[in-house]
Chains A and B, each alone.
Chain A
Amino acid sequence: MAANQEEVKLLGSVNSPFVCRVQIALKLKGIEYKFVEENLAIKSDELLKYNPVYKKVPVLVHNDKPISESLVILEYIDETWKQNPILPSDPYQRTLARFWSKFIDDKIVAASVKVIHTVNDVKERAKNVEESIEALRILENELKDKFFGGEEIGFVDIAAVFIAFWIPLIQDITGLQFFTAEKFPKLHKWSQEFLNHPIVKENIPPRDTLFAYFKAHYDSLIASK
């Protein structure tokens, strides 16, 4: 497919783990694209036009056609640009990849994000920490190879960037250690391998700015009590 005939744009935010997933996939495939940093407090006309349903990032715009929801975008990227596949070719293996990515979103991401938002509710917070630990435990047991994708990173690894990079950040901000190397040796080893992958390394946001951004958000939640 002639790259010079295509226009690929990614509406995103450098702080978002969901946007990060898409960036990793695009870079893995060597796709050239334009990144548009969205100010989520003042949503641009473009964002509202391309994602009227959720008004959120990431949105991939390919030749003026928008795709939203990070896992939907990942599948689109894999089907459109065939080099360096991120999903397996076998239908059953693809099913497993989709299952575990959904599990990460529904169980791990959801509960860990709530750990931040329940700062003012001790009981709710404890419940979300417990849920995060339980879900991480299930994922820890599932990891059999170097990566979820086998010898190479794949769909689930990319989806799990939240665990590798954002969960340690949540721990530092809240002071709650629930994703420890003692409890999760395999996931910790996986995290290190994943974050050291040449493409991933280049595409995760600078930790300091991310920390400052989320800490400010966290402090404002505490202050609003």
Chain B
Amino acid sequence: MADEVILLDFWPSPFGMRIRIALAEKGIKYEYKDEDLKNKSPLLLQMNPVHKQIPVLVHNGKPIAESLIAVQYIDEVWNDKSPLLPSDSYGRAHARFWADYVDKKIHEVGLKLWRTNKGEEQEAGKKEFIEVLKLLEQELGDKPYFGGDKLGYVDIAFIPFYTWFKAYETFGNLNIEKECPKILSWAKRCIKIESVSKSLPDQDKVYDFIVEMRKNLGIE
């Protein structure tokens, strides 16, 4: 019986991108559905009644919401190739900790950079954002990827935010390459990987989208 895999997503969502990368890494064929978030489909509301948000992975009719939970599900079900998490329990705990850190810090702090035009808030956000990136840089160390020699769970959790860097830099008035060069070189290494490059939209497109969003939110 062939698997039926559907991804309910929204193209600029870093959370959706995580699942796209995981599916691509495993070579899983799936149907991609881009949602209109102002007019959510009955399928989305049925598949994620609790949060009514994308992304939602639907596997043979069963929904999985929350991007990192979906990535773990993909790794556990399609366990015959390209492991995304390490096999030892300490390595897995370490990966889960750092992916959770990315979840807690990058998006939330990033909001302070683009979702406001209040100088004070942006300045505080900028300082915090750089601290977060520096900590991640430290965690990366000399490894080519957070996962070691290959793309892993933490890389997948974090790389989608690279598509938002132009927006963070422009609105937050920061230069990520200057502050955290290792993060930039890591990101460029990741996007050379096919499963990543074909899952991520262009940075300029994402930037234009955020400019539009700011207009709609009434932020200059």
A residues with a Cβ closer than 8 A to B are 53, 62, 65, 67-69, 72-73, 75-76, 79-80, 91-92, 94-95, 98-99, 102-103, 138
Q: Is the CB of A69 within 8 A of B97?
A: yes
Given known contacts A69-B100, A98-B69, A103-B50, A76 and B76 CB-to-CB distance under 8 angstroms:
no
Q: Is the CB of B66 within 8 A of A102?
A: yes
A sample of 7 more A-B contacts (CB under 8 A), given A91-B76, A91-B77, A92-B62, is A53-B135, A65-B90, A69-B100, A72-B97, A94-B76, A98-B69, A98-B72
Which of B124-167 touch A at CB < 8 Å? 135
Q: Is the CB of B89 within 8 A of A95?
A: no
Given known contacts A102-B69, A138-B50, A75 and B90 CB-to-CB distance under 8 angstroms:
no
Q: Is the CB of A68 within 8 A of B97?
A: yes
Q: Is the CB of B66 within 8 A of A53?
A: no
Q: Does B64 contact A (CB under 8 A)?
A: yes
Interchain nearest-CB distance for A223 vs B (Å): 28
Interchain nearest-CB distance for B75 vs A (Å): 9
Q: Which residues of B contact A75 (CB under 8 A)?
A: 92-93, 96
Q: Does B109 contact A (CB under 8 A)?
A: no
Query: Could you mark each residue 75-109 of chain B with 1 if its beta carbon is under 8 Å from any beta carbon of chain A, else 0?
Result: 01100000000000110111011001100000000
Closest residue of chain A to B95 (Cβ to Cβ) is A72
Q: Does B65 contact A (CB under 8 A)?
A: yes
In angstroms, Cα B96 to Cα A75, docked, is 10
Number of chain B residues whose Cβ lies closer than 8 Å to a Cβ of chain A: 22
The one of B50, B69, B89, B135 in contact with A76, judged by C-beta atoms closer than 8 angstroms, is B89
Q: Does B32 contact A (CB under 8 A)?
A: no
In angstroms, Cα B39 to Cα A54, docked, is 39
Q: Which residues of B contact A95 (CB under 8 A)?
A: 64, 69-70, 72-73
Q: Is the CB of B92 within 8 A of A67?
A: no
Q: Which residues of A contact B101 (CB under 8 A)?
A: 53
Query: Could you mark each residue 3-33 of chain B with 1 if its beta carbon is under 8 Å from any beta carbon of chain A, else 0?
Result: 0000000000000000000000000000000
Closest residue of chain A to B74 (Cβ to Cβ) is A91
Which of A53, A65, A79, A91 has the largest number of chain B CB atoms within 10 A? A91
In angstroms, Cα B92 to Cα A91, docked, is 16
Interchain nearest-CB distance for B48 vs A (Å): 10
Closest residue of chain B to A135 (Cβ to Cβ) is B50
Closest residue of chain B to A94 (Cβ to Cβ) is B76
Interchain nearest-CB distance for A81 vs B (Å): 9
Q: Which residues of B contact A69 (CB under 8 A)?
A: 96-97, 100
Closest residue of chain A to B105 (Cβ to Cβ) is A53
The one of A53, A72, A91, A99 in contact with B65, judged by C-beta atoms closer than 8 angstroms, is A99
Which of B43-81 touch A at CB < 8 Å? 50, 59, 62, 64-66, 69-70, 72-73, 76-77
Q: Which residues of B contact A91 (CB under 8 A)?
A: 73, 76-77
Q: Which residues of B contact A98 (CB under 8 A)?
A: 66, 69, 72
Interchain nearest-CB distance for A95 vs B (Å): 5
In angstroms, Cα B97 to Cα A67, docked, is 8
Q: Which residues of A contact B90 (CB under 8 A)?
A: 62, 65, 67, 76
Closest residue of chain A to B57 (Cβ to Cβ) is A95
Q: Which residues of B contact A102 (CB under 8 A)?
A: 66, 69
In angstroms, Cα B135 to Cα A53, docked, is 8
In angstroms, Cα B138 to Cα A53, docked, is 11
Closest residue of chain B to A79 (Cβ to Cβ) is B89
Q: Which residues of A contact B64 (CB under 8 A)?
A: 92, 95, 99
Q: Which residues of B contact A68 (CB under 8 A)?
A: 97
- A-B contact list, 5 entries, CB within 8 Å: A91-B76, A92-B62, A92-B73, A95-B73, A98-B66
Q: Which residues of A contact B94 (CB under 8 A)?
A: 67
Q: Is the CB of A72 within 8 A of B66?
A: no
Interchain nearest-CB distance for B136 vs A (Å): 10
